[in-house]
Amino acid sequence: LTLREFLHRLPKMELHLHLEGAILPATAADLARKNGVTLPPHEQVEDLYHYQDLKEFLDIYTAVSDSVITADDYRRITYEMLESCAANNARYVEFFFSPQVHFKNGVTFDTMIDGIAAGMDDAKADFSIDSRIVPGVNRELGPAAGEELLDMILARKEERLIGIGLDFLEAPFPPEPYANLFERARKAGLNVTAHAGESGPAVHISGSIDALGVNRIDHGYHVVTDPVLMQRCKDLGTLFTVCPSTAAVTSPWHDLTPDHPIKQMADFGLRIMINSDDPPMFGTDLGLEYIKCAELMGFTPADFRRAALDSIDGSWLDDSEKASLS
Residue ranges in contact with ligand ADE by CB under 6 A: 18, 21, 54, 61, 167-168, 195, 198, 246, 250, 277-278
61 binds, among Zn ion, ligand ADE, none (CB under 5 to 8 A by kind): ligand ADE
Name the minimum Å distance from CB 135 to ligand ADE: 12
According to DSSP, residue 161 is labeled B
102 binds, among Zn ion, ligand ADE, none (CB under 5 to 8 A by kind): none
67: which residues sit within 8 A by CB, 6+ positions away? 28, 31, 32, 35, 37, 39, 73
CA distance 73 to 314: 30
CA distance 181 to 143: 7
Q: Which of 277, 289, 303, 310 binds Zn ion (CB under 5 A)?
A: 277
Report the half-sphere exposure of 193 (CA within 13 A, side-chain side).
27
Contacting range for Zn ion; rule: CB under 5 A; set: 77-85, 175-183, 250-258, 269-277: 269-277
Q: Which residue number, 277 or 289, has a Cβ lying nearer to Zn ion?
A: 277
The DSSP line for 28-59 is: HHHHHHHHTPPPSS-SSGGGGS--SSHHHHHH
Return the active site residues.
Answer: 198
Plot region of 129 (φ>0 → left; ψ -120 to 50 → alpha; else → beta): beta
Widest Cα–Cα separation across the chain: 53
Q: Which residue number, 20 or 277, has a Cβ lying nearer to Zn ion?
A: 277
CA 116 to chain centre: 16
Give the nearest residue (CB) to ligand ADE: 167
303 binds, among ligand ADE, Zn ion, none (CB under 5 to 8 A by kind): none
CA distance 270 to 261: 11
Name the minimum Å distance from CB 125 to ligand ADE: 28
CA distance 75 to 238: 33
289 binds, among ligand ADE, Zn ion, none (CB under 5 to 8 A by kind): none
CA distance 311 to 274: 8
The closest of 161, 159, 88 to 127, measured between CA atoms, is: 88
Q: Which residue number, 277 or 317, has a Cβ lying nearer to ligand ADE?
A: 277
Based on the shown chain and the rule CB under 5 A, indicate whether residue 94 belongs to the binding site for Zn ion: no
178 binds, among Zn ion, ligand ADE, none (CB under 5 to 8 A by kind): none
The residues that touch Zn ion, with contacts defined as CB under 5 A, are 277
